[in-house]
Amino acid sequence: MSEGFVLPRSGSEANPVRLAVLVSGGGSGLAALLRYQRAQRCHRTVLVLADKVDAGGLQHGRDAGVRSIGVPLPMNLDKSERREAHERLVNAELEAAEVELVVLSGYMRILTPWFVRRWKGRLVNIHPSLLPNFPGAHAHRDALAAGASVTGCTVHLVDEGVDSGPILAQREIEVLPGDDEEALQERIKLEEHVLYPEVLDRLCSGRISL
Ligand code: GAR
> Peptide bond preceding 166: is omega within 30 degrees of 0, i.e. cis?
no
Instruction: Report DSSP letters for 34-89, one per residue.
Output: HHHTTS--SEEEEEEEESSTT-THHHHHHHTT-EEEE----TTS-HHHHHHHHHHH
**Does the pLDDT at position 25 exceed 90?**
yes
**Global pTM value:** 0.97
- In sequence order, what are the residues at sequence separation of 6 or more whose Cβ sits closer than 8 angstroms to the Cβ of residue 62? 68
Local structure of 175: helix, strand or coil? coil
* Whether the CB of 135 sits within 6 Å of ligand 1: no
26 CA distance to ligand 1 middle (Å): 9
- Nearest CA among 27, 24, 102 for reference residue 57: 27
pLDDT of amino acid 90: 98
Ordered domains of the chain (ranges, CATH): 16-119 (3.40.50.170), 125-210 (3.40.50.170)
What is the pLDDT confidence band of residue 139, given thresholds at 50, 70 and 90? very high
Average pLDDT for 168-187: 98
What is the pLDDT confidence band of residue 2, given thresholds at 50, 70 and 90? low
134: left (phi over 0), alpha (psi -120 to 50) or beta: left
> Hey, what's the torsion of the CAs at 122, 125, 48, 86, to 10 degrees?
80
125: left (phi over 0), alpha (psi -120 to 50) or beta: beta
pLDDT tens digit string along 79-119? 989 999 999 999 999 999 999 999 999 999 999 999 999 99
Q: Is 127 a catalytic residue?
A: yes
Which residues in 79-89 are b (16+ Cβ under 10 Å) and which e? eeeebeebbee
pLDDT tens digit string along 51-89? 999 999 999 999 999 999 999 999 999 998 999 999 999
* CA 26 to ligand 1: nearest atom: 16
* Whether the CB of 27 sits within 6 Å of ligand 1: yes
* Whether the CB of 152 sits within 6 Å of ligand 1: no
Contact 204, 11 (CB under 8 A): yes
pLDDT of amino acid 3: 79
Q: Whose alpha carbon is nearest atom 7 of ligand 1?
A: 106
* Whether the CB of 26 sits within 6 Å of ligand 1: yes
- How far is the C-alpha of 77 from the C-alpha of 87, rounded, in Å? 13
Rounded to the nearest integer, the mean pLDDT of the chain is 97
